[in-house]
Amino acid sequence: MHGQRKLLGEGYRTRDGHLIEWLGHELADRGGVTVVSRPEPLVTSVTRRRPVGVAAAGTRSVDAITLRLPDPRDPRRWWVASARCYPSLPPSSASVPALVWNPFAALAPASANPFVGPRRVVLDLLDDWSRHYAFESIRGEVDEAYAAAFARADVVTANGAGTAALARRHGRTDVVLLPNGCDPHRFDGTSRATGPTTVGYVGKIGRRLDLDGILATVAALPHVSFVFAGPVLDAEYRVLAESPNVTLLGDVHYDRVPALLQTFDLGWVPHHVGEREVGGDVIKTYEYRAAGLPVLSTAICGIDARGLDGVTVADAAEHASVLAALETVGTRVPRLPGVIPPDATWRQKADVVREALGLPTLRSS
């Protein structure tokens, strides 16, 4: 998607990162995985601090630097412009299968286009960019990229009902529904929560979140601590910091997330339902449950179809009363140990993708 800089800077916490990590691990003895990053302008590659971290085992990075400059009036348009700057693929890779997340790669020149040639291509859908508020200024180009990518992909996988619907709108009735998951071994149900009842959210803080619902819940429960771990993407959400019982931690590297979840009593998913949904599955739901946290969520698309227990679904207006009912004076909200189904693990997801790519069987270790 964004590439190696993002993976190292944040940790392999996103769907593309998890799949790259597992495929690299499992295919290390068979040549590993090459990660081709989205081209980056020279000016930003020089001015931005290089992320600290070690690339996932079995992976190697191809970074493309270009002299082209982003349009400061519309930075999102770089998704379109960067498609012309991907590095040429060596002729020897023509039969090497490709797993693609960025649909704009389908608009790259033929020499750099992973969809061109005899290779097998799997297009994996993260969010529906044709509905995503962040891509509103380039909606036409998004549709063009999707049309090209769907027309050329051998297999299309979707992380949720919304992205599967996107594929079907483009004629891909053969789309494979492959929801998100987690690595259960990274988490445990130990509670290290102290002080007031703590409701936690881990993820980007922006228009996907129901700000009015959050503020109403926070105001109704002044004795409850609400902790948000993630970057604030949209300025209007900085108002959260004005509530005395809200803590904004900023971005938290994925390596630190398991320990952070141990300090929560409940995992929260206060997302918009309907217009501001972006079509994708919510990874944090699986991670909250792997950590033994009860979960409270709005009725986002697919929330009832993940095979997870311990998830309460309610309208945003009801979240304060649901949280109040879970509290017991003088004691913590109890952990709810649960088993993540085998088909909801990233290893199993990587296995499905590996089969779709026509790659050899994964090693068992």
**What Å distances lie between residue 258 and 182, 183, 185, 287, 318, CA to CA?**
12, 11, 10, 8, 28
pLDDT in tens, 18-50: 999 999 999 998 889 999 998 888 877 766 766
Q: What share of the chain is helix, strand, coil (3-state, %, to 5)?
A: 40, 15, 45
- Give which of 136, 133, 125 is closest to 208, Cα–Cα: 133
CATH topology for the 184-326 domain = Rossmann fold (3.40.50)
Which of 38-52, 164-178, 231-245 shows the lowest per-residue confidence on average (mean pLDDT)? 38-52
Q: How large is the average pLDDT for residues 311-333?
A: 89
pLDDT score of 62 more than 60: yes
Q: Note the pLDDT tens digit of each residue in 75-110.
A: 889 899 999 999 999 999 999 999 999 999 999 999
Percentage of the chain lying above the pLDDT 90 cut: 73
Span 129-140, pLDDT tens digits: 998 888 889 999
Per-residue pLDDT, averaged over 210-221, amounts to 97
For residues 285 and 295, give the distance between their C-alpha atoms in angstroms, rounded to a whole number: 7
Q: So what's the pLDDT on residue 361?
A: 66
Q: Could you report the per-residue pLDDT of 244-301, keeping only the tens digit for each?
A: 999 999 999 999 999 999 999 999 999 998 776 666 789 999 999 999 999 999 998 7
CA distance linking residue 78 with residue 75, whole number of Å? 6
Q: Which amino acid is at 43?
A: V
pTM of the predicted model as reported, rounded to 2 decimal places: 0.93
Q: What is the mean pLDDT of the chain?
A: 91
Question: What integer pLDDT is reported at residue 120 of this predicted model?
Answer: 97
Lookup result for tokens 């971005």: 251
State yes or no: pLDDT of 116 exceeds 70: yes
Would you list the domain boundaries of the chain?
Answer: 4-181+345-357, 184-326
Please, what CATH class does the domain formed by 4-181+345-357 belong to? Answer: alpha beta
Residue type at 170? H
Same fold, 4-181+345-357 and 184-326: yes
Sheet strands (E) in 196-261: 198-202, 225-229, 246-250
Q: For residues 31 and 60, give the distance between their C-alpha atoms in angstroms, rounded to a whole number.
A: 10
Instruction: Give me the torsion for CA of 202, 205, 209, 213, rounded to 10°.
Output: 90
20-34, 56-70, 347-361: least confident range: 56-70
Residue 67 pLDDT grade (very low, low, confident, very high; cuts 50, 70, 90)? confident
- If one compares 360 and 208, the residue with the highest pLDDT of the two is 208
pLDDT at 320 over 90: yes
Q: Cα Rg for the chain, rounded, in angstroms? A: 21
Percent pLDDT > 70 in the chain is: 94
Which is more confident, 338 or 7? 7
pLDDT digits (tens, 9 = 90+) for 140-150: 999 999 999 99
